[in-house]
Amino acid sequence: MDLKPRRRPRLLRRLAAVVSAIALGIGVLVATAAPAGADTGTNANPAGIDVSHWQGSINWNSVRSAGIEFAWIKATEGTSYRDPQFNNNYPNAYYAGVIRGAYHFARPGASSGAVQANFFASNGGAWSADNLTLPGALDLEAGCHGLSQAAMRTWIMDFYNTYKARTGRDMVIYTTASWWSSCTGNWTGMRTLAPLWVAHWGVSQPSIPVGFPTWTAWQYTDNGRVSGISGAVDRNHFNGDRSRLLALANNT
């Protein structure tokens, strides 16, 4: 029985969400003057989300009140695209006390990994030791982009080395077991370098791509519901308690 997820590009998955958001109306964001909730709790498997402009305007205070502790927020794609909601989402998640990081949607066929890592780091993907910032994530999906497995491995390492040099942090890799197998040949080169954020929906445990020892975050559905967000949103679990989530954020 094949347990690997059938993954669609985020662009298609977000279309239904944005139509729903337009129909239902968007909640009003309530900003606060200082970050809240940056404590060291011990909640098991903290709940998270990942978002982009397809979720529209988000009330991050409501999101945090609903129990969401962490989020990855789309910042960039390819070599020139900047998510139009990032400059709202990223600071407002911080002020609501959500531990958040940025993610880059990879387009390996468009440029070198170094070019895209620099673009990401300069447009939201940087890291700061403020107790609320996760390392940036590299979103690898939507086919192999015309690259051979060897070329894809080189591209990923190029992105990793450049991002590490720019930020001082190891990037997080978002992918599926099937993508990693098809596009890298189950490469083990990221095993000790990049925490794994794995996507696998509708199962009790995710399939881990060969080459990774375990998962750090697990995207378990693309059809979640969270107060403060109109329509569907990706939901995630963190593999550990809040102290481990904070350790990832603070590089400790």
* Domain boundaries, given as residue ranges, for the chain: 10-23+42-250
Of the candidates 50, 69, 77, 222, the residue annotated as catalytic is: 50
Question: Residue 252: what pLDDT?
Answer: 84
First to last CA, the chain: 39
Alpha-carbon 70 to chain mean position: 10
What CA–CA distances, in Å, run from 44 to 143, 241, 242, 244, 252?
Answer: 34, 4, 7, 10, 19
241 is catalytic: no
Of 23-27, 46-50, 119-123, where does mean pLDDT reach its minimum? 23-27
Please report which residue ranges of the chain form alpha helices under DSSP H.
Answer: 10-24, 60-65, 86-95, 113-122, 149-167, 177-184, 242-250
Average pLDDT, the chain: 87
> What residues form DSSP beta bridges with 77?
81, 105
How much helix, strand and coil, in percent to the nearest 5, is found in the chain? Answer: 30, 20, 50
Q: What is the pLDDT of residues 59-105, one digit of tens each?
A: 999 999 999 999 999 999 999 999 999 999 999 999 999 999 999 99
Place domain 10-23+42-250 in its CATH homologous superfamily.
Answer: Glycosidases (3.20.20.80)
**97 or 4, which is more confident:** 97
Of the candidates 69, 83, 139, 170, the residue annotated as catalytic is: 139
> What residues form DSSP beta bridges with 133?
100
Please give the Cα distance from 210 to 224 (Å, whole number). 27
**% of the chain at pLDDT higher than 70:** 83
Q: What does the pLDDT average to over 246-251?
A: 95
139 is catalytic: yes
50 is catalytic: yes
Of the candidates 69, 77, 83, 141, the residue annotated as catalytic is: 141
What is the crossing angle of helices 149-167 and 113-122, to 10°?
Answer: 30
Q: What is the pLDDT of residues 176-197, one digit of tens each?
A: 999 999 999 999 999 999 999 9
133-153 burial code (b ≥16 CB/10 A, e <16)? bbbbbbbbbbebbebeeeebb
